[in-house]
Structure 1
Amino acid sequence: MKLAIKHQETRIDDNSSYIFGRKEFSVSLKNIFNNTDGGFVLAIDATWGEGKTSFIHQLIHDLKFSTDLIPIYYDAFANDFSSDTFLSIGATISYEVEKHFNKKSQTDKNHKKTQEQIQHLKKVTKNTAIELVKLGTNLAVKSLTAGVVDSSELVKVTTNAFNTATFGTLELDLKKKFEAYENSKATIQSYVEALQSVSTGSEKVVFFIDELDRCRPDFAVEVLEKIKHLFLAKNVIFVISYNKSQLSKIISNVYGVDHEDSLKYLEKFVHIEADLPTVDNKNHENSYELLFNCFMDEFNIQFSMEQPKLERLKGMFISLSSDKHLKMNSREIERAFSYVSFCFASLDGDKGTELFQYFLPAAMIKIKNIELFESIKNGYFSSTSSNKEFNWVFVFFMDYYKDDLVYEASNVYKVEKFEEACNIVSMFKLPIESGTQRAVKNF
Structure 2
Amino acid sequence: MKLAIKHQETRIDNNSRYIFGRKEFSTSLKNIFYNIDGGFVLAIDATWGEGKTSFIHQLIHDLKFSTNLIPIYYDAFANDFASDTFLSIGATITYGVENHFNKQDQKDKNHKKNQKQLQHLKKVTKNTAIELVKLGTNLAVKSLTAGIVDSSELVKVTTSAFNTATFGTLELDLNKKFEAYEGSKATIKSYVEALQSVSTGSEKVVFFVDELDRCRPDFAVEVLEKIKHLFSAKNVIFVISYNKSQLSKIISNVYGVDREDSLKYLEKFVHIEVNLPTVDNKHHENSYELLFNSFMDEFNIQFSMEQPKLERLKSMFISLSSNKHLKMNSREVERTFSYVSFCFASLDKDMGTELFQYFLPAAMIKVKNIELFESIKNGSFSSTSINKEFNWIYVFFKDYYKDNLVIEASNVYKVGKFEEACNIVSMFKLPIESDIRSAVKNF
TM-score after normalising by structure 1: 0.89
Contact 2:279 2:323 (8 Å CA) reproduced: no
Aligned AA for 1:422?
A: C
Give CA deviations for 1:339-365 in whole Å, capped at 9, x if unaligned: 222223333454333322211111111
User: Partner of 1:298 in structure 2?
Assistant: 298
- Amino acid aligned to 1:380: S
> Residue 78 of structure 1: SS of its match in structure 2?
helix
Match of 1:128 in 2: 128
1:97 is paired with a residue whose SS is helix
Say if 2:405 is the partner of 1:401: no
Change (3 A) 1:389 1:157: closer
Deviation per CA, 1:52-76: give whole Å up to 9, x if none. 2222222212211112111111111
Q: Give the stretch that moved more between structures: 233-242 or 45-54.
A: 45-54
Whether the 8 Å contact between 1:44 and 1:241 is mirrored in structure 2 is yes
Matched, 1:6 2:10: no
- The answer to whether the 8 A contact 1:281-1:327 is kept is no
In the alignment, what sits opposite 1:101? 101
Give, in whole Å, the separation in 2 of the partners of 1:336 and 1:35.
Answer: 41
In the alignment, does 2:29 pair up with 1:25? Answer: no
Kept in 2, the 8 Å contact 1:131–1:184? The answer is yes
- Is the 2:375–2:386 Cα contact (8 Å) retained in structure 1? no
Q: Are 1:388 and 2:388 an aligned pair?
A: yes
CA distance in 1, matches of 2:275, 2:331: 18
Tell me if the contact between 2:84 and 2:137 (Cα under 8 Å) persists in the aligned partners.
no
Q: Does the CA-based 8 Å contact 1:43-1:272 persist in structure 2? A: yes
- 1:96-121 deviations in Å (ceiling 9; x for gaps): 11111122234521211211111121
CA RMSD, aligned part only? Answer: 2.5
Tell me if structure 2 keeps the 8 A contact 1:122–1:170: no
Mapping of residues 36-435 of structure 1, within 5 Å: 36-106=36-106, 108-136=108-136, 155=159, 157-159=161-163, 163-166=164-167, 169-177=168-176, 178-434=178-434
SS in 1 for 2:310: helix
What's the offset of the Cα at 1:136? 1.9
Moved more, 285-294 or 408-417: 408-417
Paired residue type of 1:186: A
Gapped runs of 5+ residues in structure 1? Answer: 437-443
Letter in 1 for 2:173: L
Q: Deviations over 1:303-343 (max 9, x none)?
A: 33232222221111111101121111111111111122222
Aligned-residue identity in percent = 85
3-state SS of the aligned residue for 1:407? strand
> What is the deviation of 1:235?
0.3
Q: Which moved more, 1:2-11 or 1:257-266?
A: 2-11
Identify the residue that residue 439 of structure 1 maps to in structure 2: none
Partner of 1:15: 15
Label 1:85 to 1:347 Cα distance change in 2 as closer, same or farther (>3 A).
Answer: farther
Higher mean alpha-carbon deviation, 44-53 vs 208-217, is at 44-53
Is the partner of 1:9 in helix, strand or coil?
helix
Specify whether residues 191 and 349 from structure 1 end up closer, same or farther in structure 2 by C-alpha distance, changes over 3 A only: same
Tell me how far apart the structure 1 counterparts of residues 67 and 299 of structure 2 sit (CA, whole Å): 35
CA deviation string 1:7-61 (max 9, x = no partner): 4323322233221112222222111111111101111112222222222222212
Distance 1:64 1:212 in 2: 23
Other-structure match for 1:441:
none
Is the alpha carbon distance of 1:11 and 1:155 closer, same or farther for their aligned partners in structure 2, counting shifts above 3 Å?
A: closer
Contact 1:70/1:203 (<8 A) preserved: yes
Q: Distance in 1 between matches of 2:240 and 2:156?
A: 39
- Asked if the contact 1:282/1:324 (under 8 Å) is kept, the reply is no
Counterparts of 1:370 and 1:172, CA distance in 2? 54
Instruction: Find the counterpart in structure 1 of residue 144 from structure 2.
Output: none
Question: Distance in 1 between the 2:245 and 2:435 partners?
Answer: 12
> Once the 2 structures are TM-superposed, how far is the Cα of residue 125 of structure 1 from its aligned partner?
1.6
Does the Cα contact within 8 Å between 1:40 and 1:231 map onto a contact in 2?
no
Q: How many angstroms apart in 1 are the aligned matches of 2:166 and 2:3?
A: 34
Separation in 2, partners of 1:344, 1:44: 37
Change (3 A) 1:155 1:374: closer
Cα displacement string for residues 245-297 of structure 1 (whole angstroms, at most 9, x for unaligned residues): 11000100111111111111112111111122343135421111110111112
Which digits, 9 at most, give the CA deviation of each residue in 1:149-193, with x for residues without a partner? 997xx546511xxx3434xx4434334514333333222211111
Q: Tell me whether 320-329 or 76-85 shows the greater mean CA deviation.
A: 76-85
What is the CA–CA distance in structure 2 between the aligned matches of 1:272 and 1:138, rounded to whole Å?
25
Matched residues in 1 for 2:320 and 2:331: separation?
A: 15
- Answer yes or no: is the 8 Å Cα contact 1:343–1:352 preserved in 2: yes
Partner SS, residue 239 of structure 1: strand
- Conservation of the 8 A alpha-carbon contact between 2:359 and 2:418: yes
Q: Distance in 2 between matches of 1:368 and 1:184?
A: 52
Q: What residue is the counterpart of 2:145 in the other structure?
A: none
- The letter for the 2-side match of 1:59 is L
TM-score, normalised by the number of residues in structure 2: 0.89
